[in-house]
Amino acid sequence: MEQFRTVGVIGRMGSVKVVETLRRLKQFLIANGMHVVLEETTATVLPGHNLQVSSIKMMGEIADLVIVVGGDGSLLGAAREMAKFNIPILGVNRGKLGFLTDISPDGLERGIEEVLEGRYVEEKRFLMDAFVRRDGEPVGFGSALNDVVLHPGKSTRMIEFELFVEGQFVYGQKSDGLIVSTPTGSTAYALSAGGPIMHPRLDAVVLVPMFPHTLSSRPIVVDGKAEIKIQIGDENGIYPQVSCDGQKHIAAAPGDTVTIRKKPHKLRLIHPTNHDFYATCREKLGWASSLTMLH
């Protein structure tokens, strides 16, 4: 296990609880001899901190470990930035669900101490790149840990598009759009659209149609290495959007092509040693924990 010396800290803005947890985390890390680097926006909520401050990009170059205090959305943003630096990320949950940020504030010091001592499990999660092209020229780019979504934006009209996987035509569809999700994102937006839950270690991508204008359309799981292409129909009366993790939005137009493929860099996600994917599903999704609960 790695020995961490320089720890980057990123916190979600706009939450008193996050600030409280950031203060505890800062004190604990310093007491344990860590060199702490605060992300520049996070540093503004900790006046008088006397710590090094950096941009997220610079943090990727100097930190051994990055700790994110917030919800899954906060970790998604950090993951897209940190994956290329091969730096492990640990999440402290101050959000709602917490599929990715799995250290609880109540067990903050104990959980962080275990990680600093080398007692943790590490997962590799792959990300996707999305390219939007118009007449063969690039007009937008984004990365996603959870999902890339083609959707109508503010319009309520359906989108007509054609789907190709590895150059092979799959179908033409008229729907509210398409969710292209990694296993990490299968418990997020794709789940609410009727997609399957995929174990994080799977090398696969799921394609989930959104309210298709047919009764026979179902989610499709394809190889994680497959190139996915969505051809937006020329006759569409709307200008749809391509959203990456619901945080990066690219304006598309009729006739545009959206190409999605696996990113070359993977996220190194750290969990406490007692991490259990199925236990997380039971807790977050309300699955029964025993047969007695079913009666």
Same-domain check for residues 214 and 160: yes
At residue 56, what are phi and psi to the nearest 5 degrees?
-60, -40
Give me the mean pLDDT over the 142-152 stretch: 97
Same-domain check for residues 63 and 97: yes
pLDDT at 294 over 70: no
Same-domain check for residues 52 and 12: yes
Does a structural domain hold residue 66? yes
Residue 284 binned pLDDT confidence (cut-offs 50, 70, 90): confident
Residue 1 binned pLDDT confidence (cut-offs 50, 70, 90): low
Would you state the pLDDT for residue 155? 86
Same-domain check for residues 111 and 133: no
pLDDT at 98 over 90: no
Enter the DSSP assignment of 290: S
How far apart, in Å, are the Cα atoms of 122 and each of 69, 76, 115? Answer: 18, 17, 10
Helix 108-116 and helix 16-31, axial crossing angle in degrees, nearest 10: 40
Would you state the pLDDT for residue 103? 92
d(CA 147, CA 186) in angstroms, rounded, equals 8
Q: Which residues are catalytic?
A: 72
Same-domain check for residues 286 and 238: no
Range of 54's domain?
6-120+272-294
Mean pLDDT, all residues of the chain: 94
Does a structural domain hold residue 17? yes
Tokens 């996987």 belong to 165
Predicted TM-score (pTM) of the model is 0.93
194-219 b/e with 16+ CB inside 10 Å = b? Answer: ebeebebeeebbbbbbbebeeeeeeb
Does a structural domain hold residue 214? yes
Same-domain check for residues 207 and 285: no
50 annotated ligand binder: no
pLDDT at 109 over 80: yes
pLDDT at 293 over 60: no
Same-domain check for residues 77 and 133: no
Do the Cβ atoms of 246 and 235 come closer than 8 Å? no
Same-domain check for residues 246 and 180: yes
Would you state the pLDDT for residue 295? 52
157 annotated ligand binder: yes
Same-domain check for residues 183 and 149: yes
pLDDT at 143 over 90: yes
List the one residue out of 131, 160, 130, 125 whose CA is nearest residue 145. Answer: 125
Would you state the pLDDT for residue 112? 96
What single-letter amino acid sits at 139? V
Would you state the pLDDT for residue 141? 98
Same-domain check for residues 142 and 18: no
147 annotated ligand binder: yes
- Domain with residue 181: its CATH number is 2.60.200.30
Share of the chain above pLDDT 70, in %: 98
Concatenating the DSSP letter of every residue in 35-66 gives: EEEEEHHHHTTSTT---EEE-HHHHHHH-SEE
187 annotated ligand binder: yes
Show Cβ contacts of residue 40 under 8 Å, excluding neighbours closer than 6 positions.
53, 54, 55
d(CA 19, CA 12) in angstroms, rounded, equals 9
14 dihedral zone (left: phi>0; alpha: psi -120 to 50; beta):
left
Element (DSSP H or E) covering residue 93: strand 88-93
Give me the mean pLDDT over the 9-18 stretch: 92
Domain count, the chain: 2
Same-domain check for residues 61 and 79: yes
- Domain with residue 36: its CATH number is 3.40.50.10330
Burial environment of residue 103 by CB neighbours within 10 A (0 to 12, 13 to 18, 19 or more): buried
More confident: 286 or 52? 52
Burial environment of residue 14 by CB neighbours within 10 A (0 to 12, 13 to 18, 19 or more): exposed
174 annotated ligand binder: yes
175 annotated ligand binder: no
Dihedral of the alpha carbons of 147, 153, 157, 158, in degrees to the nearest 10: -20
Does a structural domain hold residue 1? no
Does a structural domain hold residue 186? yes
Query: Sign of the CA dihedral 140, 144, 150, 153?
Result: negative
Same-domain check for residues 98 and 164: no
72 annotated ligand binder: yes
The pair of structure tokens assigned to 239 is 């200008």
Give me the mean pLDDT over the 76-94 stretch: 94
Residue 134 binned pLDDT confidence (cut-offs 50, 70, 90): very high
73 annotated ligand binder: yes
Element (DSSP H or E) covering residue 257: strand 257-271
Q: How many CB atoms lie within 10 A of CB 13?
A: 12
